[in-house]
Chain A
Amino acid sequence: MEDKELLEKFKNEESRNYAFNLLVRKYQQKVYGHIRKMVIDHDDANDLTQDVFIKVWNNLQDFKEHSQLFTWIYRIATNECLNFLNKKRRRFFLPINDVEKELGDKLESSPIIDGDHIQLKLQKALLKLPEKQRLVFNMKYYDDMKYEEISEVLGTSVGALKASYHLAVKKIEEFLNTD
C-alpha cells in the first residue's frame, strides 16, 4: 500500500489500527536494521524499534507530509538511537571510547552469519567512526538511500553528507587493510 493511502486510512478512526499494522509491517525491518547497526544489541534494538513505532502512532495524525513518510520515521529512529547512546554515555560517565568498546564487545559475543570475519572487521571499523558519520555511512552503504533523503533525516546539507561519506569510506578501508 502506498504511503498516501496508509495515511488516509490512519486518519480514519475505524481503519486506524489496520493502517498502522500495515505501516509497521512495511517499515519494521528497515527501522530495526537501522537501529541495530547503531546499538548492536538485539534487545536494545527491539526496545528502541517499539518506541519508534509508538511515537509514530502518537504523532502520525499531525504528520504534515513536508517530507516522505519513510524519512520521517527514519528521523525518529535516528533520534532514538542517538538519545540512547548519549544516555548510555551519561549514565556511566564513560568517555566515547568506552561506549564504542562496549558495543565492540557485544559485536564479538553475538553470533555471526556465515562466520564471515571480514564483515566483523568492517563492523568494528564502523564503531570507530563518530556516530553521525556512522549513520551517514549506514544509510548510504547499507540502505542505499539518496543523499537528499539522508539530508532530510539528519538535517545536514547534501555536500556535507558527501564529504562525510567519502571520509568514512577512506577510514574504513584503512582499517580493513591493517592487521
Chain B
Amino acid sequence: MEKDPHNKKISLENLKKKNIHQVPEGYFDKLPYSIQEKIQGKKRSWTIDWKNGTGRYAIPGLAILILAFFIYLALPSGKQEIAVKPIKEVTKDSITSNAEDIQEKEPVITQDNDMTAIQQKPIAVDSNMKKQDIPVVIDKFDSPESYLADITNDDIKEYLDLNEMDDVQVEELLID
C-alpha cells in the first residue's frame, strides 16, 4: 500500500524507522560494569573466601563458640546453686511446725463494703485433720514403699468414713 496524496494514507514502507525510546546518557558505557558487578556479587554470596576477608575469622570464631559451649556445660549452672533439699532431709518437726504456721488469708469485707480494709483470718489447713494425727500421716509418707505396705483396711475405712462414702463404695475399695 503506498501513500496516496489525496487520501493521505500512511504506509509503513514510507515511514522512517525510528527508535522513539530515549536512553539515559552513558547508559551503554556503564551497562557492562553493572552486569559484571551483579555477576561478581552472586559469586560472592555463594562462596566464602577462607584466606582473605571475613572468611579468615570464621574458623577462630567458630572455635571460640564451641569452646564457650563446652565451658558452659562443664561449670555448675546457676540453677544448681539453688538448694533443693531432698525429701529425706525434710524433718517431721519442720512439717508440723509449718502446718501450725500456715494461715490462709481471706479478705473480709466490712459492713461498709470497704475492700481496702482486708483482715486476716486464720484458716486450718485441713479441718478434718487433728494436730496429733500429723506425725502418724507423716510416718506413712516417709517412703513410698513403706506407705503402700502399711496401709490396712482399717486405714481405708477410716479414710472413707471421713469422706462419707457408703458401704458399697467401701467394699469396692477394700484390699482383698
Contact of A113 among B18, B31, B32 (CB under 8 A): B18
- A48-81 vs B, CB cutoff 8 Å, 1 = contact: the mask equals 0110011001000000000000000000000000
Q: How far is the CA of A17 from the CA of B18 in the complex (A)?
A: 34
Number of A-B pairs whose CB atoms are under 8 Å?
74
CB distance B12 to A53 under 8 Å? no
CB distance B21 to A119 under 8 Å? no
Tell yes or no: B42 within 8 A of A by CB.
yes
CB distance B17 to A142 under 8 Å? yes
The answer to whether residues A173 and B18 also contact, given A24-B35, A28-B31, A57-B39 and a CB cut-off of 8 A, is no
CB distance A36 to B21 under 8 Å? yes
CB distance from B85 to the nearest CB of A (A): 66
Q: How far is the CA of A114 from the CA of B22 in the complex (A)?
A: 11
CB distance B18 to A114 under 8 Å? yes
CB distance A116 to B20 under 8 Å? yes
CB distance from A2 to the nearest CB of B (A): 19
**Interface residue tally of chain A, by bracket?**
35 or more
CB distance A169 to B12 under 8 Å? yes
Residue of A nearest to B21 (CB): A36
Among B20, B22, B27, B34, residue most surrounded by chain A Cβ atoms (within 10 Å): B20
**Residues in B whose Cβ lies below 8 Å from that of A50:** 31, 34-35, 38
Tell yes or no: B70 within 8 A of A by CB.
no
Contact of B20 among A46, A49, A123 (CB under 8 A): A123
Residue of B nearest to A31 (CB): B31
A110-159 residues at the B interface, CB under 8 angstroms: 110-114, 116, 118-120, 122-123, 141-142
A residues within 8 Å of B by Cβ? Answer: 17, 20-21, 24-25, 28-29, 32-33, 36-37, 40, 42, 46, 49-50, 53-54, 57, 110-114, 116, 118-120, 122-123, 141-142, 169, 172-173, 176-177
B residues within 8 Å of A by Cβ? Answer: 1, 9-12, 15, 17-24, 27-28, 31-32, 34-36, 38-39, 42
